[in-house]
Amino acid sequence: MYLPRGLIAHLYQELLKRNHAAAPPVLLLVALEPDALCACRILTALLKRDYIPHKIQPIAGYADLRRASEDLVRPMKTNEGGSGGVVVCLGVGGMVDLEEMMGLYVDFDTREGGTGDVEVWVLDARRPWNLNSVFGTPTSIDQETGEIVREQAGVDKGRLTHTYRSGKGGIIVFDDGDIEEELEAEREAYCGLEEMPEVGEHEDSEDEDDDEDDAPPESGQIPKKRKSWSENEDSDEEMSDDERPRQRRRSNSGGSIPSSPERRPARREFLSISNALGGSSDFSRSDSTSRSPSPEAAAPKEKSVKSLRRQLIATRNKYNKVLDTYNELGASYSEPVSSLVYSLASELGRDDNDLLWNAIVGVSSLELYGRTGSGVGLNPLSTAGGSAGWNGDRGERIRSVLRDEVRRLNPTDLKDIGREQTMGDASGAIPTSARSATDKSIRLSPEPRFLLLRHWSLYESMLHSPYLSARLHIWSDQGRRRLDKLLAKMGVSLSQCKQNYTHMDMELKRGLRERLLKFAPVYGLDGLVPPPPRNGDMKDGWGFVRCWGWKACLSAIDAGVILGAILEVGDAKSLNQSSLDNANFAGAQDHSEMVATEAQIDEAQAHVTSRFWTAYDALASIDLLVEHINTAQHLHRAILRTGTALIEKRQIRHLRAFRMAVVKEGPDVQLFTHPGALTKLALWIAEAIVELNGTKGKHKGSELVMAGLDETRGRYVVVGLGGGGATETAKERIAKRQERIVEREKRKAAKDQERAKKRQARIDRNLAAGLDEDEVEDDTEDEDDDDSESEAEEETLDRGFGKNKFGNAFQEVVRETGARVRIDSFEACVIEIGKEDLSGFLERLSMKAVVG
């Protein structure tokens, strides 16, 4: 089931009505990423204000999710002795069947199980959705009849309405608008399969040669037993128990017509199939007027049954194709979870500066991990500056709303207007201090694409900027000299730019933006800073900055960088301790020779939990956040050092469908066993590759497979980077789409004209033969259906254009090669693979389509 965006506060208000002193606590399952962490901060603030008890559980991957389902969710079920309750998944489980993973289904053999009054709210930015969670209705057992019921009041084909009353359990997905706008065809297909009756098997000689009729339906029937995802794999010995389950279409609901050894009367079968296809009242009327039909009259009925069965099978295959096409679109990202939860707070009237700042940090953090509308990949090229290129038009709309919220909640005092004019804030100076000792407001700032500018020197900040590093070729001596020359043209001496930025000359800091706008285009750095004011919003493309009195001043990007470093590296005080090296994955185990003991799993889980709570506390403590700035600096020094070494040693190989690089030596190799840190390194290298190759040569895309060796466990962590539209701008993609629409309209007009000519010719022929004009057979309906299907296919291709399909390719290669892998990360493009299996795995992977 899904909750429309317009009813985003409905479930929370229902939770408030049911809250009392003895109510079970709300369980929050939170992914280990800055976006989910910020969303957790916002939601817990709401729960605290309403005195709703809650418990937070960090979730590192699918293995953690299964353990939490068994240890925490199962005891909540009423049929397990619990009292029900609400489970909120933040950045967790949007791509898998949570009903099966959490054991909320009904066993069709024993007639046991069910939701147990456990209601699961799913807020996840990853796509594609698992359609069972989105459109499926929870199953329950009728206590009087013992039959399985799959209907719930207030639910219309998977869509919750305002009459829905929570408390009965089930999976509920929070829609950010995409489901209502884009998944109408998938909704129709899924619900059609749910309602579709089972096609009876006939023993007639007339049907023996009909292979489609004899074959069992692919879907739309109740299976005898629900199987675990792991039972469907090819090899249980080689595949891990923690591998991510594939999407599974739910069997059809109660009310289907079971098959029977005896042949059912033709009329009953006709009516059941006819109802599934929209009904046929003509047959019912003709049958009621004939009380004793002759054998001759019965023959056409049997033929009609066969025709309808064939039509039913065709409809079923069409629906299956729609769902399969959606599942194969490839990975992508939609609205950040933190933005969605802030919308909930705003709808409830609980928004304030702290919640807004958490939402801004969460939204900004997605850019650091390359999470765009086309999957994990480089951000689309943009000359708008700042972070304006992230996630195309949709990302800019989200940031525009956040900028409006900043103005609304942080109005400028009249006494500060003059100060801003004299200090340069209004003209575009980058703020580095608060207005007063008690100032905790959020401001808009023309943030350049530098890294930790306020906490590093200008030179170090520019040196470690992925955007600037790629375009200046900073990994080479010539690139370093180019950076020095840029600073010299700007009139900034090396002694000034190599001291802490806050200690630089005030006049240099005030004029930094104007100097960058003047000289950056000379070096191809058009998007280094936001452009000058244009029509409309004079601060379009600006970033966000918050100060905590005289303690600190941080941009939203900097806060996201620090939070990510805490989750990926750990405690800054323990950077040199090897005890934290193995904590990147909790529950790291599979059927290879490296099997983790229970003690090792517990120790890894303790490290992961410790990192989560450190980052969680840092969001509310500026002192703790500032304390971990050196952790972020350590990580990004390692990225620059490792990326430079890979390029200088020419260790980036060209394969057929992508480039490949392996980190297996060096002082920082253990840092890149965490998929988040490895993804940041891959983004740095991919941007450098695109800049090096430009539009020349065969390999001009940004598709990259990055592997990091974890010697202690004898395996590689692999990240597949692709999509993101790195080779063309959002404007170019929109222009191409408009060209396709215009071309399609031209083809349609030509077809209409040709169709009109053919029809007129038929009319003339029939009139010459003495027939009336209205007796002319019109065959344009089939052509219209073909045109609509072709348009639907083009629309589907457009939706899947340029998306990251590494997740699909990984699973295909695993089935073909039988490699020892572990798919535990929520990112579809992240996988762990045995050390000896990497070469064969990559060789087969290079033959697959990794970007749509």
Give the range among 18-32, 214-228, 597-611, 658-672 with minimum mean pLDDT: 214-228
Q: What's the pLDDT at 312?
A: 87
Q: Which position has the higher pLDDT, 145 or 4?
A: 4
pLDDT at 713 over 60: yes
Whether 743 is covered by a domain: the verdict is yes
Whether 748 is covered by a domain: the verdict is yes
Whether 217 is covered by a domain: the verdict is no
Collect all residues with Cβ–Cβ distance below 8 Å to 124 and sequence separation of at least 6: 89, 90, 91, 92, 93, 94, 95, 337
pLDDT (average), residues 158-170: 90
pLDDT (average), residues 622-629: 93
Q: What's the pLDDT at 741?
A: 77
Q: How many domains does the chain have?
A: 1
Q: What's the pLDDT at 418?
A: 58
Secondary structure of residue 615 in the 3-state scheme: helix
Q: Please give the DSSP secondary-structure letter assigned to residue 121.
A: E
* Domain hosting residue 780, numbered range: 730-795
Q: Which position has the higher pLDDT, 789 or 167?
A: 167
pLDDT at 74 over 80: yes
Give the range among 10-24, 107-121, 126-140, 184-198 with minimum mean pLDDT: 107-121
Q: What's the pLDDT at 331?
A: 87
Whether 120 is covered by a domain: the verdict is no
pLDDT at 337 over 90: yes
pLDDT (average), residues 731-746: 71
Burial 342-356 (b: 16+ CB within 10 A, else e): bbbbbbbeebeebbb
pLDDT (average), residues 695-704: 58
Quick one: pLDDT band at residue 373, thresholds 50, 70, 90?
confident
Quick one: pLDDT band at residue 696, thresholds 50, 70, 90?
very low
Q: Mean pLDDT of all residues in the chain?
A: 78
pLDDT at 789 over 80: no
pLDDT at 642 over 90: yes
Q: Which position has the higher pLDDT, 597 or 481?
A: 481
Residue identified by tokens 């309209």 is: 745
Quick one: pLDDT band at residue 107, thresholds 50, 70, 90?
confident
Q: What's the pLDDT at 307?
A: 80
Q: Which position has the higher pLDDT, 702 or 161?
A: 161
E strand spans, 233-301? none
Give the range among 467-476, 643-652, 842-851 with minimum mean pLDDT: 842-851
Sign of CA dihedral 780, 782, 787, 788: positive
Instruction: Please give the share of the chain, as a percent, with pLDDT higher than 70.
Output: 72
Whether 747 is covered by a domain: the verdict is yes
Quick one: pLDDT band at residue 799, thresholds 50, 70, 90?
low
Whether 682 is covered by a domain: the verdict is no
Give the span between the Cα atoms of 632 and 560, in whole angstroms.
10
Alpha-helical segments (H) within 246-294: 266-276, 281-289
pLDDT at 727 over 50: no
pLDDT at 296 over 50: no
Q: Which position has the higher pLDDT, 268 or 363?
A: 363
Give the span between the Cα atoms of 367 and 377, in whole angstroms.
10
Identity of the highest mean pLDDT range in 43-47, 220-224, 415-419, 683-687: 43-47
Residue identified by tokens 């900004």 is: 364
pLDDT (average), residues 175-185: 91
pLDDT (average), residues 436-461: 91
Reported as a single tens digit per residue, the pLDDT across 452-478 is 999 999 999 999 998 888 889 999 999
Reported as a single tens digit per residue, the pLDDT across 497-516 is 999 998 888 888 888 888 98
pLDDT at 12 over 50: yes
pLDDT (average), residues 789-800: 54
Q: What's the pLDDT at 143?
A: 62
Give the range among 61-65, 412-416, 619-623 with minimum mean pLDDT: 412-416
Q: What's the pLDDT at 146?
A: 65
Q: What's the pLDDT at 459?
A: 94
Residue from 202, 220, 222, 223 nearest 211 by CA: 202
Q: Which position has the higher pLDDT, 39 or 144?
A: 39
Whether 776 is covered by a domain: the verdict is yes
Say if residues 550 and 21 touch (Cβ distance below 8 Å).
no
Whether 331 is covered by a domain: the verdict is no
Reported as a single tens digit per residue, the pLDDT across 191-245 is 998 888 776 544 344 444 444 444 444 433 334 333 333 333 343 334 444 444 4
Q: Which position has the higher pLDDT, 658 or 203?
A: 658
Q: What's the pLDDT at 274?
A: 52
Q: What type of residue is 436?
A: S
Burial 616-654 (b: 16+ CB within 10 A, else e): bebbeebeebbbbbebbbbbbebbbebbbebbeeeebee
pLDDT at 571 over 60: yes
Q: What's the pLDDT at 28?
A: 97
Q: What type of residue is 319?
A: Y
Residue from 476, 377, 467 nearest 701 by CA: 377
Residue from 800, 802, 724, 685 nearest 379 by CA: 724
Q: What's the pLDDT at 259?
A: 34
